[in-house]
């Protein structure tokens, strides 16, 4: 049990795959990967393998949903990590609470993301085109450390085939679904933050961070909007996982 918590679950990173909309046989499809809560402290062998796996999966879009780093001095580690990913992969990122708590230079952070073909969205919406399909991605500021503003973020939202909202702390989902207008519904929301409980003792979770709300991991249905809460990759406070294996999520949609 201790070996599993201290070694296997920290370092074995699952790839969980989900089909959002079915593609007709022989037609293109879109692949979106969610990468959350890296909490980078080093570029380990496991993280190097993870970047190779992401490159092999060839996603159309990589969504980084906050807490990439939790200390200002680790910002160059993030650059080194991103450089291991293929530059031609479109990437989009949001902030988590730890970018604020760790006093990360957000201007420098945005610059590092940009140099690696990644746009940092803070209460903004970006439109991505893949073949004949478009994906609008709305990225919200962090619910705990920042100032999320969905109406402001949606000001640049235009018609698209798919609409994804990136929101680090899942507790904010209740506010998001209440604010969404009928013509701006999201296909799904991607969150992280909880680490799946990080320590989940057969259903008993000793601690969930502020901003988790009732959400722990996996899929939830809120009104007409689906929410996926990633267990993330890294750890915080203690370097242990149990009952909450690290993951990335791959979402497939009709192209």
Q: Which CATH number fits domain 2-194+238-254: 3.60.21.10, 2.60.40.10, 3.30.1180.20, 1.20.140.10?
A: 3.60.21.10
- The pLDDT score that the predictor gives to residue 178 is 87
- The pLDDT score that the predictor gives to residue 9 is 62
Domain boundaries, the chain: 2-194+238-254
pTM: 0.93
Dihedral sign (CA 224, 215, 254, 136): positive
Ordered per-residue pLDDT tens for the chain, 255 residues: 555 555 566 668 899 999 987 655 556 789 999 999 999 999 999 999 999 999 999 999 999 999 999 999 999 999 999 999 999 999 999 999 999 999 999 999 999 999 999 999 999 999 999 998 999 999 999 999 999 999 999 998 888 999 999 999 999 998 899 888 766 789 999 999 998 766 777 776 777 778 888 998 999 997 778 999 999 998 777 777 766 789 999 999 976
- The pLDDT score that the predictor gives to residue 200 is 72
Which residue in this structure is represented by tokens 């990360």? Answer: 104
- The pLDDT score that the predictor gives to residue 165 is 98
- The pLDDT score that the predictor gives to residue 39 is 95
DSSP 49-73: HHHHHHHHH--SEEEEES-S-SSGG
Distances (CA, A) of 95 to 21, 43, 119, 182, 200: 28, 20, 11, 27, 25
Which phi and psi (to 5°) does residue 86 adopt? Answer: -60, 135
């Amino acid at each position: 049990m201790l070996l599993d918590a201290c070694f296997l679950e920290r370092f074995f990173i699952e790839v969980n795959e989900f089909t959002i909309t079915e593609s007709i046989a022989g037609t293109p499809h879109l692949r979106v990967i969610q990468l959350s809560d890296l909490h980078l402290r080093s570029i380990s062998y496991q993280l190097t393998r993870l970047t190779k796996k992401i490159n092999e999966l060839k996603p159309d879009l990589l969504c980084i949903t906050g807490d990439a780093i939790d200390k200002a001095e680790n910002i160059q580690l993030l650059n080194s990590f991103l450089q291991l990913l293929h530059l031609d992969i479109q990437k989009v990122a949001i902030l988590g609470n730890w970018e604020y708590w760790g006093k990360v230079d957000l201007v420098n952070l945005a610059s590092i993301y940009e140099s690696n073909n990644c746009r940092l969205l803070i209460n903004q919406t970006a439109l991505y085109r893949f073949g004949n399909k478009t994906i609008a991605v709305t990225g919200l500021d962090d619910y705990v450390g920042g100032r999320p503003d969905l109406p402001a973020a949606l000001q640049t939202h235009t018609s698209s085939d798919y609409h994804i909202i990136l929101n680090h702390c899942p507790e904010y989902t209740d506010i998001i679904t209440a604010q969404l207008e009928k013509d701006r519904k999201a296909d799904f929301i991607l969150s992280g933050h909880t680490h799946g409980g990080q320590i989940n003792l057969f259903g008993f979770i000793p601690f969930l961070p502020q901003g988790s709300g009732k959400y722990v991991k996996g899929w939830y249905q809120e009104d007409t909007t689906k929410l996926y809460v990633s267990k993330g990759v890294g750890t915080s406070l203690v370097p242990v996982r149990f009952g909450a294996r690290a993951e990335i999520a791959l979402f497939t949609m009709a192209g």
